[in-house]
Amino acid sequence: MVAATRRAASITARLNRLTFNDAAAVRALFSELIGRQVDEGFLLIPPFYTSGGNEIRVGRNVFINQNCTFYDLGGLDIADEVMIAPNVSIITSGHPLDPRERRSVTIGKPISIGKGAWIATGATILGGVTIGDNSVVAAGAVVTKDVPADVVVAGNPATIIRPIVSGA
């Protein structure tokens, strides 16, 4: 885990020196970080932070705005057409509640973000959560449980505030 974190820190340090105008170089470094080629529709605005990178999977036409943090130890799947706003934290890892174990154990739980989802500014998504297709996580929401498709969630903890009706 330490080696993966060092590798990620080295790659993200180079990535974070780039600007919005360096989209091709950002795509190349992000592809190196995750170990898979991202498509031409992928756009990330630095800075970006991650604990490893090699457990991130990204679909087509994904947009990640600036200052996002992805801790991907548990696995992070981002489907096609997902938009992620600034200052979003997606955290797949945590520690036991027992203080005797906290420093020695890291627990990873996967996160899956469905096709067409929008994660708004400052949202936090915690491990073990699935965000359904087309759903919106409102600004500042803290997602601790699965979110079904086609809804808006908000608050801490996030709860459904309304359905999304296409064309409405």
Options 17, 36, 95, 145, the catalytic residue: 95
Q: Are 130 and 111 in contact (CB under 8 A)?
A: yes
What type of residue sits at position 25?
A
Q: How far apart, in whole angstroms, are the C-alpha atoms of residue 112 and residue 95?
A: 20
Structure tokens at 151: 């809804």
Q: Are β-strands 48-50 and 68-71 bridged in parallel, bridged antiparallel, or unpaired? A: parallel
Active site residue 95: yes
- The upper half-sphere exposure of residue 165, i.e. CA atoms within 13 Å in the direction of its Cβ, equals 2
Supply the residues annotated as catalytic.
95
